[in-house]
Amino acid sequence: MTMLQFVRVLVASLIIASAVGDEIKNVLLLLADDAGLEMGAYLNKFSQTANLDALARRGLLFNNAFTSVSSCSPSRAQLLTGQASHSNGMYGLHHSVHNFNVLPNIQSLPNVLREKSNGHILSGIIGKKHVGAADHFRFDFEETEEKHPINQIGRNITNIKLYTREFLRQAKTQAKPFFLMIGFHDPHRCGHVTPQYGEFCERWGTGEEGMGTIPDWKPIYYDWRNLDIPAYLPVTDVVRKELAAQYMTISRLDQGVGLVLKELESFDFANNTLVMYTSDNGPPFPAARTNLYERGIKSPFILASPNAEDRHHETTGAMVSLMDVYATVLDAFQLSLNNSAFSSKSLMPLLRKEPRPQEDDAVYGSHSYHEITMDYPMRMIRTRQYKLIHNLNYWSYFPIDQDFYTSPTFQQILNATLHRDNLPWYRSLQSYYERPEWELYNIKSDTMERHNLAEQPEYKNVLKVLKQRLHEWQASTNDPWLCAPHAVLQAQGIYKDNPVCLTLGHESL
């Protein structure tokens, strides 16, 4: 090779490297509402999710992604602030009488992106927002339930498509990179509010008489008689019918994802946009949403990069939290995360290399409320082998939220219990209500979390280590419940520089 040829190759390599490094200009976050792993990509053979499966094939599919809180508003706040719900103050639902908002000093992604880029990055949200206060979550472009009926902006995929087109046109005209969040309302339940539309609003917009029409939706009907039931649910026809309705709305969500991605292509943004798909929490079934059990916290997660050198059509076993979305978005825009108090870490390195798994890899959970009446704070550490849950209000019955209470599945469980009928479920309603203070499970050998090991002598050391790690995480993230339930946290006056837990004397009582 001559010197001239060498220089040409070197220059070409530098140009290519520069182009690859600059490919990600924008970030698109697709967020489902109460969806679990009901996707073909996660080996569900019934739920038809062609667009999500295609996204998974061109991206990185996560097998160990977890939400830190199994409730809608707190989960959305963790995504947008990078902090656990006890740190950001979104302890429960934002809307109506629940009235939770983040703490005064908390800022979210749209505000931080605006500040760090001097307004150069355009932020937008379409669909369900469900966080507050408004000034703490101020997007440049907003079309949400604050301006529209929630179904029209969260389930009407034609409206979502049109507002996505409007936002992308604005980004194109202004020549700005963008962060766009699409908050789908599917497959959230709606039967307790609008039962005429079906338990999951699966009839709404189908074109049936009185149901209206969503022009871009081609409804997929599922024969409930052919469906397998996940192991954590009662094996009944009532559950099969609920799954058929849930899958129908998941397919609507999936078609909405396809429409949004098509708009991205039509504006020539597909080649420079990082796409993320996940869900706020698990499905609204027993042992799932509002629980820190696996079905409540295990999340679908896809990270699809336009960069040719990044990983595509692969899976990762990395242990990640939805709190990591915050740092990932900042990293995609090459902006720093300059506060060590955040629980968030960037997932961008996973696009290049799979980390070596360690048995003590861990994610954490912090659930305090859902509805304002559901006072049942829980904290959790989940490693690759074990999960430890601390139920801080363990002397109370585990609370049930309103839309789940009216669901056919829960009503069947409730009525079977009241009438002492046999029900093919892996646990009893009494054991579901009455929980010990500490729950320790070997996730590898007990995927259903049926055998609590907290009182077993042979797990004494495991319990001690996990308790200490959980306590350290709570302390590092300024958890107000750090000393609960047996002590009071004193962090003022003479204890300001050295906070302590002062006993309530429960042991003596």
Q: Mean of the pLDDT values across residues 195-216?
A: 97
Digit-coded pLDDT (tens) for 353-367: 999 999 999 999 999
pLDDT at 340: 57
78 CB burial (10 A radius; 0-12, 13-18, 19+): buried
Beta strands 487-490 and 500-503 are antiparallel
Nearest CA to 239 out of 203, 279, 199 is that of 199
Q: Give the separation between CA 126 and CA 138, rounded to whole angstroms.
A: 13
Digit-coded pLDDT (tens) for 289-309: 999 999 999 999 999 999 999
Residue 279 pLDDT greater than 70, yes or no: yes
- With both helix axes pointing from N to C terminus, report the angle between 72-81 and 109-116 in degrees, rounded to the nearest 10: 20
CB 126 within 8 A of CB 160: yes
Beta strands 314-316 and 320-321 are unpaired
pLDDT at 269: 98
Digit-coded pLDDT (tens) for 135-173: 999 999 999 999 999 999 999 999 999 999 999 999 999
Beta strands 378-383 and 386-391 are antiparallel
- Long-range CB contacts for residues 405-410, cutoff 8 Å, separation at least 24: 405/192, 406/191, 406/192, 407/189, 407/191, 407/192, 407/199, 407/242, 407/284, 407/285, 408/199, 408/238, 408/241, 408/242, 409/233, 409/234, 409/238, 409/239, 409/242, 409/285, 409/286, 410/286
Q: Give the separation between CA 415 and CA 145, rounded to whole angstroms.
A: 35
Q: Mean of the pLDDT values across residues 415-438?
A: 97
pLDDT at 64: 98
Digit-coded pLDDT (tens) for 207-258: 999 999 999 999 999 999 999 999 999 999 999 999 999 999 999 999 999 9
CB 55 within 8 A of CB 304: yes
pLDDT at 343: 77
Residue 412 pLDDT greater than 70, yes or no: yes
CA Rg, the chain, in Å? 23
Q: Mean of the pLDDT values across residues 63-76?
A: 98
pLDDT at 339: 66
Q: Which two tokens stand for residue 140?
A: 């440049």
DSSP 355: P
Q: Give the separation between CA 316 and CA 336, rounded to whole angstroms.
A: 25
pTM assigned to the model:
0.94
User: Does 501 qualify as catalytic in the annotation?
Assistant: no
Mean pLDDT of the chain: 94
pLDDT at 341: 62
Proportion of the chain above pLDDT 90, given as a percent: 91
pLDDT at 23: 83
Name 487's bridge partners. 503
pLDDT at 505: 87
Q: State which amino acid sits at residue 242.
A: E
What b/e sequence results for 83-111 when a residue is b if at least 16 CB atoms lie within 10 Å of its CB, and e otherwise? Answer: bbbbbbbbbbbbbeebebbbeeebbbbbb
Q: Which of 72, 190, 201, 483 is catalytic?
A: 72
Q: Give the separation between CA 63 and CA 57, rounded to whole angstroms.
A: 14
Residue 11 pLDDT greater than 90, yes or no: no
CB 243 within 8 A of CB 224: yes
Residue 6 pLDDT greater than 70, yes or no: no
Other CB atoms within a 10 A radius of the CB of residue 58 amount to 13
Residue 127 pLDDT greater than 60, yes or no: yes
Residue 342 pLDDT greater than 90, yes or no: no
pLDDT at 198: 97
pLDDT at 403: 93
Q: Mean of the pLDDT values across residues 447-474?
A: 98
